[in-house]
Structure 1
Amino acid sequence: MGRLLHVYFNALFGGLGGLLGWMLFGELISPTWDWWTQALLGGVLIGALIGYFVVSVDAILDRSLVRFARYAAYGSVLGGAGGALGFWVGDWVNYLLVSTAGAEATLLVQITSVLARGFGWMLFGLAVGVSEGIASRSLGKMSYGAIGGSLGGFIGGAVFAWLMLVLDKEDSSYVWGQAIGLVVLGACIGALTALVEEVFKPAAIKVMRGWQEGREYPLVKTASVIGRDEGVDILLLRDMKVEKRHAVIQRHGQRFLLMNNNAPATSTLVNGEPVAQSAELHDGDRIQLGNVVLRFLLRAARERPRKPAGPSSR
């Protein structure tokens, strides 16, 4: 899965979570309840579903049940808590504004209402982004997720609030506007969480041959474990020559080292050379674990401006 597909799948699953949240909100949340009860319980429901899908994207693509259970649990719990807080804060500020302004909703009040709901859902996006880092035990992923989730929550929440302002509550378009708004909210959180990671990740490895061929795995931890065990950071299934915890890629500042984790040196190669203990990685290096071939990609090297080609001689 390349960079654009990573962003696409996160947006897709985030939007799906928003759509299911809208459907269950209509079925389970009664309009006769107090507004704060609707906001809290509705926020928990919508937040848990968006968090469930956004945080579990990698585990779903890996088809790893163990990883899915862990990621989904963190995403649901923290997403639900963030959703409750975000929904309640946004609705509370909006309620105060409407009560103060009365029937005359000025442009300033409307803009403030949109920004307030955007800020409320920003808190939710922050919770979802952080939960992915907690689930993967990665400080880097947590920081990228916090930035992307906050941006996505604010933008998606503002779009949702704007739709609620411009659509007539008595018209059927209002209901569909809620659905569209929540889909946009989930998609924005998912897409921007992935996009920020793609932009700032220091390095990645790409599967050139083997299971999940074409997929890129970001290296955002100081030590990323590779193997067949479902608890590792980079999961390589379907090749029994790959050990459960075959190797570790360690980051030391701008340097990356491939450490053999007691696997056969003949099944651990860098550019065709056996690695008994460790080998420093450079951009474009070919890594082979068992029959799986990986390519090491360093962001700093790819951002470095190329030297202009000199005049050709004949």
Structure 2
Amino acid sequence: MVKRKLARALRDGSLGGVAGLAAGAVGMVLAQAAFFALEGGWQGRTLSWMLLGGLIGAGDLLVHRRPVRAGYAAVGGLVGGLMGGLGYEGLTWLLLAQSGAAQVWLGGMGLVLVGACIGALIPWARQVFALGELRVVRGEQQGLVREVSDTASIGCYDGNDLYLPDSGVAWRHAVVRRSEDGFLLEVLAGIDGVARVGERILGPGEEQPLRSGDRIVIGGAELEFVGK
């Protein structure tokens, strides 16, 4: 169990690092272009931070391949860049007359502030805009919560959106996805397993609309779907 969690953390960290590096590089180029287009000033600097944050958030697409989720993350990055950039400008204005050493510290504090705002607002935006959540109420991952924006895969493979290492859970067991009327749970065809929603048992290839508060049992794990 520990080895699998460590492997997933290393893999996700590596993918996230590559995505952040790529998005950051593109973001820096666009940010510089925006800064010079506005001829500098606080407006240009703030817009630059917004572009950088938005592209870092959009880099989520490279990791999870979920356009809707990446769109929400990009919005969070834009807002985080705006808040961090304005905070940076505020610090600059307050400490404008300080010594050179203080200005160096100011630059470091400003970068930390911008990074903290972008890092905090990206997951916040995903939570705010997500239309549903899956909460693990029983099993190995009890207490874990995953937002559902458009689709969420469930299974014992740690590359799923909701990783359930419990007994009786297939490699890729089921998927929760949006439909015209809300969300539904589909047990994937070809697996050796079932899922239970309330009193109904779903076999491979079957699906069931979900309502907020529905309990889902997959193998040794029990989930609660919460709609927003």
TM-score range, shorter chain: 0.7 to 0.9
Query: Partner of 1:86 in structure 2?
Result: 31
Please, which of 136, 143, 148 is the counterpart of residue 214 of structure 1? 143
Query: Partner of 2:12 in structure 1?
Result: 67
Please, which of 153, 156, 161 is the counterpart of residue 233 of structure 1? 161
Alignment of 1:137-152 (within 5 A): 137-152=65-80
> Does the C-alpha gap of structure 1 residues 270 and 77 become closer, same or farther in structure 2, counting only changes over 3 Å?
same
Does 2:49 align with 1:121? yes
Q: Provide the C-alpha distance between the structure 1 equivalents of 2:135 and 2:157, rounded to a whole number of angstroms.
A: 19
| Deviation for aligned residue 1:89 | 4.0
- Between 1 and 2, higher relative CO (CA 8 Å, sep ≥ 6) is seen in 1
Query: Partner of 2:60 in structure 1?
Result: 132
| Deviation for aligned residue 1:178 | 1.7
Q: TM-score if structure 1 supplies the norm length?
A: 0.63
Query: Partner of 1:195 in structure 2?
Result: 124
| Deviation for aligned residue 1:83 | 3.0
Q: Deviations over 1:202-246 (max 9, x none)?
A: 11101112233222111112x321112233222223x24211101
Q: Secondary structure at the match of 2:213?
A: coil
Q: Provide the C-alpha distance between the structure 2 equivalents of 1:152 and 1:269, rounded to a whole number of angstroms.
A: 40
Structure 2 alignment gaps of length 5 or more: none
Please, which of 76, 90, 93 is the counterpart of residue 162 of structure 1? 90
> Does the C-alpha gap of structure 1 residues 69 and 205 become closer, same or farther in structure 2, counting only changes over 3 Å?
same
Q: Deviations over 1:86-117 (max 9, x none)?
A: 25643x468x55xxxxxxxxxxxxxxx22221
| Deviation for aligned residue 1:120 | 0.8
Please, which of 276, 285, 293 is the counterpart of residue 214 of structure 2? 285
| Deviation for aligned residue 1:264 | 4.1
Higher Rg: 1
Q: Provide the C-alpha distance between the structure 1 equivalents of 2:17 and 2:162, rounded to a whole number of angstroms.
A: 18
Contact 2:8 2:159 in 1 (8 A): no
Q: Provide the C-alpha distance between the structure 2 equivalents of 1:122 and 1:214, rounded to a whole number of angstroms.
A: 34
Structure with higher strand content = 2
* Corresponding pairs, count: 220
Aligned partner letter, 2:69:
K
| Deviation for aligned residue 1:259 | 1.1
Structure 1 alignment gaps of length 5 or more: 1-59, 98-112, 300-314
Aligned partner letter, 1:242:
V
Aligned partner letter, 1:189:
I
> Does the C-alpha gap of structure 1 residues 194 and 298 become closer, same or farther in structure 2, counting only changes over 3 Å?
same
Q: TM-score if structure 2 supplies the norm length?
A: 0.84
Q: Deviations over 1:165-217 (max 9, x none)?
A: 43246343222222221111111112222222222211110111223322211
Structure with higher helix content = 1
| Deviation for aligned residue 1:62 | 9.3
Does 2:200 align with 1:273? yes
Q: Provide the C-alpha distance between the structure 1 equivalents of 2:65 and 2:214, rounded to a whole number of angstroms.
A: 27
Aligned partner letter, 1:205:
L
